[in-house]
Amino acid sequence: MQFPDDDNGQMLAAMADAGIDLSQALDVDFFLVFDDQRDAESALEALSGSEPEGELEINFSEELSKWELIVSLNMVPEYAAIVAEETRLNDFAAEFDGMTDGWGVMQHQEGDDEFADHEHGEDCDDSCQH
């Protein structure tokens, strides 16, 4: 697959290289960051009424020293759809003095057999299919 040469294209290319099926819907996490807790909580409240299909989570990121609102949407990770969603969420976050800070997917997705819970151990040999 060919992807544009930007951060989103590079992320999608890395996902494809890792064997993730980009034609299937995945839970894509978009990260919105805010300096002020009240701004993050206000944004969360506003999104709670408008994102019924998505999951929302708020926490303080020690790494960024900012409040982080994670918007998890189940979608096919197509380049144009990712860019459109990032733009929409960045415009939304700006209303609360925030901004987007990238996106990602968890390695283990529902139905993803490659990342089974079983780890290789003493019971496994070279023919193990885990």
pLDDT at 121 over 80: no
Q: How many angstroms from the chain centroid is the CA of residue 126?
A: 34
Q: Are 47 and 71 in contact (CB under 8 A)?
A: yes
Instruction: Write the single-letter amino acid at 36.
Output: D
Query: pTM here?
Result: 0.79
Percentage of residues in the chain having pLDDT higher than 70:
78
CA angle 15, 61, 73 (to 5 degrees): 45
Q: Within 10 Å of residue 81's Cβ, how many Cβ atoms?
A: 13
Q: Are 128 and 75 in contact (CB under 8 A)?
A: no
- Which of these, 61, 69, 65, 77, lies nearest to 26 by C-alpha position? 77
Mean pLDDT confidence for 120-129: 40
Mean pLDDT confidence for 61-87: 95
Cross-strand bridge partners of residue 61: 66
Q: Which residues contact 43 (CB under 8 A, 6 or more apart)?
A: 32, 34, 69, 92, 93, 95, 96, 98
pLDDT at 33 over 90: yes
Average pLDDT, the chain: 83
Per-residue confidence (pLDDT) for residue 124, from 0 to 100: 40
Q: Are 44 and 37 in contact (CB under 8 A)?
A: no
Band (pLDDT 50/70/90 cuts) for residue 32 is very high
Grouping H, G, I as helix, E, B as strand and the rest as coil, residue 13 is: helix
Q: What pLDDT digit, counting tens, does each position of 100-119 carry?
A: 999 999 865 444 444 333 34
